[in-house]
A = this chain, B = another copy of it.
């Protein structure tokens, strides 16, 4: 492994510059920083972390709180969080809440007791975040893949995603489009507004079933879904994630309906699932890698600045979605 001296020599800078880059000191020319980081990355240079830890009284651990790993979307986010944290020579401590608010509270306390330097959280319930607000004043905290007022966050623009899907389906000639998701979701807001702006209807007939009804795959919800689709001449369905979309495709095909000829289906998240369905699934791609990467970047920036008496400026980042068109539409 290369030493700091060797890294400095190769980058044509002093050892103290390499040290400043490693410690994220702002007084480094960005171009030089980029160059030094390139060499650090190339040779996988690892400063003595134990020594760093002791000197800085830091753990170099980041706590990650996610609701689940079943939907392949979260493992994708997790991979990119891990990769980026690693790049900064931090490690991640993972906690999973299984959608339980109580567990979320406990997990956050547990992570605090492990002396993590910061937290990245995908909250279970955006209307119950008092415990996260409390933590924020003690520890740098970034909300990941959702937006929450008063917090640093990095998320895809769900509102814009909804608009893009509606525009695409309307352009394809669909007039009656169904939705399977939550009413509060911003995915619906943008979608709804675009439909109304095009003088089309969207009412409770278009709100097909709740996602839970599909997940349970009980016969009764299948029948309800099919009845709503047929009775209202629904020719396209917009769903909140790829798993739900796939279940819809399978229900349709099982009932002798053609996808996309009879009903087009759009998923969300553009996970690995999209290329496994038959037909392959059109889906809204989130910039998963970038969400993970930027969440870590922001968190580490805040961690390194914790002791500086600078004004706190929130980083609130909406990243653009991208519709990946496949044969289900």
Stretch at the interface among A75-83, A167-175, A192-200: A75-83
A249 CB–B CB distance under 8 Å: yes
A217 to B113, CA, bound (A): 47
Known contacts A49-B113, A69-B76, A110-B49; A61/B273 CB under 8 A: no
A275 to B110, CA, bound (A): 35
Asked if A253 and B278 make an inter-chain contact with CB atoms under 8 angstroms apart, the answer reads yes
A254 to B276, CA, bound (A): 12
Interface size class of A (residues with CB under 8 A): 35 or more
In the complex, residue of chain B having the shortest beta-carbon distance to the beta carbon of A77: B69
Main SS at interface, chain A? helix
A38 CB–B CB distance under 8 Å: no
A238 to B231, CA, bound (A): 42
A50 CB–B CB distance under 8 Å: yes
A111 CB–B CB distance under 8 Å: yes
Known contacts A96-B79, A243-B276; A114/B69 CB under 8 A: no
Partner of A276, one of B61, B76, B110, B250: B250
A276 to B110, CA, bound (A): 36
A234 to B108, CA, bound (A): 54
Asked if A276 and B278 make an inter-chain contact with CB atoms under 8 angstroms apart, the answer reads no
Partner of A70, one of B49, B75, B113, B246: B75
A117 to chain B, nearest CB (A): 12
Partner of A82, one of B46, B95, B250: B95
Asked if B278 and A250 make an inter-chain contact with CB atoms under 8 angstroms apart, the answer reads yes
Partner of A272, one of B82, B113, B243: B243
In the complex, residue of chain B having the shortest beta-carbon distance to the beta carbon of A276: B246
In the complex, residue of chain B having the shortest beta-carbon distance to the beta carbon of A106: B44
18 A–B contact pairs at CB < 8 A?
A46-B113, A48-B113, A60-B114, A69-B69, A69-B75, A69-B78, A70-B72, A72-B72, A72-B272, A78-B94, A86-B107, A86-B110, A91-B93, A217-B275, A246-B276, A250-B278, A253-B278, A277-B277
